[in-house]
Structure 1
Amino acid sequence: MSTNERLRRRIPQQDRSRAMVERIIAAGHTVLLENGYEGASTNRIARTAGISPGSVYQYFPDKDAIVAEVVDRWTDALHARISCVFAEALDGPADQLSVRVVMGELLDALGENPRLLRVLIEELPRSPDSRLAAFERRMDDLLTVWLRFHLRGHDAPPVGAIAWMLVRTVENVAISYVLDRPPVERDIVADELTAMVTAYLRDISLP
């Protein structure tokens, strides 16, 4: 059975059905945070929602379908929030102010739900078609376009590779900061990430 077939669920058509789906997803979110991916089960989600397991199966084939919906909604919101700020910053020059706005927004967005972030990073299987991977590719594409525009007239650097490395370097530092909670102030992390990125961009843009 393919991933799409396994995760396929009934799409509610009536208000009552849609309300039931939202109830199940909310319960799935709660169970995922409290018990993690391995500790989540359809029965536990049903108990949290106050319904029978049979009611859950009317809309979701298994717990993975519920978890996928919870994670998709969170990563969609994260993607929209960061993409908007990132796109606005890329409209201008690579100055410290615009880069600093992106770094601060990334740390804030990831830090709003560290428990779900931990489940996403440490417990859920990583796949090339995951929402997190799609988010990273979107950031790669935006930064690649910006680099190609601003590095015109210079020896052609490998902008795709540069974008890939920068996105994942910043992402990994931000995620580690949120999950590890080191004794470092948030503004210091944002400032140092900003200094690192702008210094690197200045270096590769030198004639």
Structure 2
Amino acid sequence: MRKRPQQQRSRELVKALIDATAKVIQQQGLDNTTTARIAEVAGVSVGSLYQYFGDKDGLIEALMESLADDIGAGLKRLPLLDNVDMNAMISSAIQFGFAVLNSRDGLYLELVRNWHRLPTDRVVNTLQQHFMDLARLYFLRHYQDYPIRNLEVRVFIVTNSVLFTMVRHISQNNGLIREDDLANELTRMVAGYMATPPDHQGTR
């Protein structure tokens, strides 16, 4: 972003441009999205757009940051820690992830299909930090049942492995793997890995 909006009107303009970016990508696809079309959908001039965003990539990066914030907020609203059973907690988080990626009338599907071309670090970092905070709270409450070590390493592996698997499934699914079956197997995998006691980890 070229400059940060300070006034309310400027913030509203930036939000309108980000929303228009999402709408154009959803309707026309990533490759057919242009700054001219985004400005048109937002109801502003291209000159106004360029006051805040240097190009299409800047708008897409801002959109990804906005989506990361939305996903983080959605995760915080989930009563995950109400689940005493680890399987139930993990299952709820994975089901939420699939629900998000399948939502927004095709927007996320188009973004997932182009995941390798997009600035996705903010999204992944948001998810990773949320699961890190959640895991700390959960394992502090249940330390006697799950005396875990290397929590940061495990959360990093789990977050990236699950996200990559979900993205691959949604973007390239040929119908051979049902989403429910995949969610169940991911839950089993993550719960089993996170519950592995320290004695089974080997030397550090």
Does 2:34 correspond to 1:55?
A: no
What CA distance in whole angstroms lies between the structure 2 residues aligned with 1:149 and 1:75? 28
Task: Say yes or no: does 1:101 pair with 2:92.
Answer: yes
Alpha-carbon offset, residue 59 of structure 1:
3.9
Match of 2:7 in 1: 13
Structure 2 match to 1:89: 80
Deviation (angstroms), 1:146: 2.7
Distance (Å, rounded) in 2 between the aligned partners of 1:181 and 1:166 = 21
Q: Answer whether contact 2:83 2:89 (CA < 8 A) is retained.
A: yes
Determine helix, strand or coil for the equivalent of 2:149. Answer: coil
Q: Which residue of 1 aligns with 2:66?
A: 73
Pairwise CA distance, 1:108: 0.9
Q: Which residue of 1 aligns with 2:113?
A: 118
Match of 2:124 among 108, 128, 132: 132
Instruction: Tell me if structure 2 keeps the 8 A contact 1:114–1:179.
Output: yes
Q: Deviations over 1:79-110 (max 9, x none)?
A: 1112332xx32354344333222221111112
How many equivalent pairs are there?
A: 194
Partner residue of 1:187 out of 180, 183, 197: 180
| Aligned with residue 158 of structure 1, among 150, 155, 162 | 150
Judged with a 3 Å threshold, the aligned counterparts in structure 2 of structure 1 residues 42 and 206 are, in CA distance, closer, same or farther, namely same
**Which position in structure 1 is the counterpart of 2:191?**
198
TM-score (norm. length: structure 2): 0.74
The aligned amino acid for 1:174 is M
User: C-alpha distance in 2, partners of 1:102/1:13?
Assistant: 37
**2:86–2:191 contact (8 Å) kept in structure 1:** yes
In structure 1, stretches of 5+ residues that fail to align are 1-6
Counting aligned pairs with the same residue, the percent is 24
Secondary structure of the 2:196 match is helix
Q: Which residue of 1 aligns with 2:166?
A: 174
Which structure 2 residue ranges, 5 or more long, are not aligned? none
Partner of 1:45: 38
Partner of 1:146: 138
Whole-angstrom distance in 1 between the partners of 2:146 and 2:128: 26
Structural RMSD (CA): 3.1
Relative distance call for 1:89 and 1:193 in structure 2 (3 A) is same
